[in-house]
Structure 1
Amino acid sequence: MSDDPAAQPVEPRAAATVLLIRDEPGTGDLQVFLQRRVAGMAFAGGMTVFPGGGVSAGDEPDPARWRGPEPERFGARLAQPADLAAALVTAAVRETFEECGVLLAAPAGTEPGRLDAAATWRDDLVARRITLPGLLAAHDLELRADLLVPWSRWITPPRNPKRYDTAFLVARVPDGQVADDATTEAVEARWWSPAEALSGYEDGDLELMPPTLRTLQELHRHDSAGEVLAAAAARDIEPITPEVRREGRVVTITLPGDPDWIYEETTR
């Protein structure tokens, strides 16, 4: 974070994050998929996060392979132009497939399920040998935008040297698909209940960034994946830019409109 108040803010990069949820087999309790990122990564190293990442040049969907609400509807919810909203949804699907092997796509007229060739497709996508729209076209699949519901939008504070304007979207893991830890970006990836993750944060076992912490606190209010999806559809989404104050090595982060929510960290 820059200490020069006169520094020109960096333009935030568009990004998408997916709150991948399920009802725990056996108990039916709500769970969310989280990844602990490799410590040496340039962004959020060592942090426990939801799957996601920045919009790439290839994240321009084919309208003929888009199933679900039109991009204009996503744009209205996220206060973004329709073309950018379409790219955000595409990036969300791509990143979820790359990072945990869950593909929110299916042949026309069917539901997403087990895909025997998914490992090869995923390798090609990660290696940038193909874009997601190219992969869908090659295997006659539709992007299932109807399985994603906007949850929130977070914008990194202006003084940060690396900034993102991130759409948070919710999706239930499709039946027959398994979220895994086969990504080089994480040292651990698994299902957590929101309560378990929050307890790990309180005990110092998990490092969470403010958007992740706040989102887990919100998810903790719900008991099932169905409740979360219903709540997502009813939410009023206002872009959130945290407010940052530094006193010595202590950085305090608050949220506009919620003065009681406070996040503190000590810098080196």
Structure 2
Amino acid sequence: MSDDAPVRIASTMMLVREAPAVEVLMVKRNQAIDHFSGAMLFPGGKVEPSDLDPAWRAQVEGWDDIPESERGPRISAIRETFEECGILPAVQGYRASPGDTRALRAAMDRGEASFLAYLQQHGLRPDLRSLSLFARWRTPPVVAKRFDTYFYLVQAPAEQVAQADGRETIMVEWITAPAALDMAARGERTIVFPTRMNLSLLARAGSIADAIAAAAGRPARVVEPVVELHGDKRFLRLQAEDGYGPALEPLLF
């Protein structure tokens, strides 16, 4: 695979709550979806052109405090979280019922409603500053589908209820990071390498405040696993400076 393979910008949201231990919301991808089908993931997806609409400048809080390269990914993470699990994070005053939320998400999926237009109509202003950049991963060049993915952490609004969309996501689950890692190790959950590694970082935090502080203290770095050949098999290795500890993962695609 050439280094010239296109790299799509994507984002994913680590939505957390204290219950009382830190739990993170994970979604199960529909088996019919090509990318990461059947896996447990954080909600997220590709940054879409609508996430880059200049009209967002007047609709969000913190526009000038966020680097230009991160505005689209942060908006995308908020939108994807709403579309995939029905929770609207980083917004004060959202009080729609679960039924109304389902109807809006369905209309958005059919192209009959716009996320930006809905927020404009209801005076809802996401605060981009409330998202903490947790990590950034880039797919190595040997993989056909490459992504440059921003992982964000945000506290879940207590009054909202998570619900799968039934199309891209078929299940939602609040779970502690150690429990998710244990289930993956036992083969009870399929959790892909970047997600597992960021769960391992989250597992070190005793509170949401600890997780936010740790994220703020990590050096800004794009994690791009190195591909190594061991015998006739390829593996992904993380570097010491990536901050996750030793990790060697079979490359299965």
TM-score norm. by structure 1 comes to 0.84
Partner of 2:44: 52
Secondary structure of 1:164's counterpart equals: strand
2-side partners of 1:238 and 1:161: how far apart?
23
Contact 1:16–1:52, Cα closer than 8 Å, also in 2: yes
Q: What is the Cα deviation at residue 124 of structure 1?
A: 2.2
Q: Tell me the SS of whatever aligns to 1:142.
A: coil
Counterpart check, 1:256 vs 2:239: yes
The answer to whether residue 58 in structure 2 is matched with residue 64 in structure 1 is yes
Q: Is the 8 A contact 1:153 1:165 kept in 2?
A: yes
Quick one: distance in 2 between partners of 1:224 and 1:34?
18
Tell me how far apart the structure 2 counterparts of residues 85 and 224 of structure 1 sit (CA, whole Å): 25
Q: How does 1:163-178 map to 2 (within 5 A)?
A: 163-178=146-161
> 2:219 & 2:241 partners in 1: Cα distance?
15
After alignment, is 214-223 or 115-124 more displaced? 115-124
How is 1:104-183 mapped onto 2 (pairs within 5 angstroms)?
104=89, 106=91, 111-116=92-97, 117-183=100-166
Q: For residue 28 of structure 2, what is the amino acid of its counterpart? A: R
**Separation in structure 2 between the aligned mates of residue 214 and residue 242 of structure 1, nearest angstrom:** 12
Task: Render the CA deviation track for 1:136-194: whole Å, top value 9, x for unaligned.
Answer: 11222112213211111110101111011111110111121112223322333201111
Listed as ranges, the matches of 1:1-268 within 5 Å are: 2=1, 7-24=2-19, 28-59=20-51, 60=53, 61-68=55-62, 70=63, 73-75=65-67, 82=68, 84-104=69-89, 106=91, 111-116=92-97, 117-247=100-230, 250-257=233-240, 261-265=246-250, 267=252
Identity %: 28
What is the deviation of 1:44?
1.1
* Contact 1:156–1:241 under 8 Å retained in 2: yes
Q: When the two structures are aligned, how many residues end up with a matched partner?
A: 247
Distance in 1, matches of 2:107 and 2:148, equals 27
User: Greater helix percent: which structure?
Assistant: 2
Kept after mapping to 2: 8 A contact 1:181/1:190:
no
1:159 and 1:55 map into 2 onto residues whose CA distance is: 22
TM-score w.r.t. the length of structure 2 is: 0.88
